[in-house]
Amino acid sequence: MMNGVVFAVLWVVISALGELGAKAWINSAPNGAGPYFGTMSNLGVISAQAFDFLVYVAVPIFVFVVLMLVFAMIRFRAPKSEVNQIKDAKDQTRANKAFIGIWIVASILLNIVVWLHPNAIGLEQVFAAQKPANNPNALVVDVTARQWEWIFSYPQYGIDESFNAAGQDTLYLPVNRPVKFILRSYDPFHTYDYQVDVIHSFWIPAFGVKLDVVPGETRVLYLTPTQLTSTEQDPMARVQCAEACGPGHPYMEANVHVVTASQFASWVKLQHKYAEEGYAAI
């Protein structure tokens, strides 16, 4: 009985300290992202909340398992002089049916809880975020993935392909405005069957979102950037292919800028100027 009380006290105390450490870890980053850095969009926030919840749940479970192993090794360690006596003892407990039953039931209940939250609840939030009705005045961005380049066009603003000053493809987004990404995989610069390109994966780490881009399919992704950022400020704010697509895969990336509405309007004018001057990618 006393062993159980000592173990319970140690478990509660160490778990409490672990929860405080987990909280400090989660709140360690300047932007509050902690270990889950993809929190610069509404979808990223949903994923980060799920991650944080699982961390808090995992701490007491991890402490329980490790503490039980360590506690048993220390408390019930037999001296060498008693080893033979223990081997010959008739009264030995090799299994505790009550403990096994409690462990199985607790595991099932825990899995049900985690399935309900954050899994089911989080997915419901993600599905709601993908409904057009919940994304009024969405900015439409056509995203074309080709070996090995990302091409962005803005049909609402007459921009066929966006560039930066160095002639590189770039993605500009206004903060706090819903964005509708229309994703396709093909090579628009060469005439051939549009299905001969390969699968790419549209990934912006800072946004906490990734979606495969499959030849012959048109996929739609809604998200809302929630923080001002750029690739220069945060390397995680970039478009990166996350699907092995050939020798140029590691370099298939593009800069991202999340700017204010006025800055975005100025950037649109600059893109029109590039188009009038016959500006082309290098």
* 3-state SS assignment for residue 182: strand
Q: Alpha-carbon distance 110 to 61, whole Å? A: 10
pLDDT value of residue 196: 63
Question: Cα-Cα-Cα-Cα dihedral of 149, 154, 157, 161, to 10°?
Answer: 20
User: Buried (b) or exposed (e) across 223-237, using 16+ Cβ within 10 A?
Assistant: bbbbbbbbbeebebb
pLDDT in tens, 156-184: 999 999 988 888 899 999 999 999 999 99
Listing DSSP states for 75-138 in one string gives: HTPPPGGGHHHHHH-S------HHHHHHHHHHHHHHHHHHIIIIIIHHHHHHHHHT-GGGSTTP
Domains of the chain and CATH, by start = 2-76+107-129 (no CATH), 137-276 (2.60.40.420)
Average pLDDT, the chain: 88
pLDDT value of residue 251: 92
Strand ranges (DSSP E) for the chain?
Answer: 139-146, 149-153, 170-174, 179-185, 200-204, 209-213, 219-223, 229-230, 238-241, 253-259
Q: Which pLDDT band holds residue 281 (cuts at 50, 70, 90)?
A: very low
Closest by Cα among 25, 183, 175, 54 to 122: 54
Give me the percent of the chain exceeding a pLDDT of 90: 62
- Is the pLDDT assigned to residue 280 strictly greater than 60? no
- Is the pLDDT assigned to residue 186 strictly greater than 90? no
pLDDT in tens, 79-106: 776 666 666 656 656 677 888 899 899 9
pLDDT value of residue 282: 41
pLDDT average, residue stretch 110-115:
92
Q: Alpha-carbon distance 95 to 5, whole Å? A: 20
Beta bridge partners of 172: 257
Question: Cα-Cα-Cα-Cα dihedral of 73, 74, 75, 78, to 10°?
Answer: 70
- Is the pLDDT assigned to residue 37 strictly greater than 90? no
- Is the pLDDT assigned to residue 247 strictly greater than 50? yes
Give me the percent of the chain exceeding a pLDDT of 70: 88
- Is the pLDDT assigned to residue 194 strictly greater than 70? no
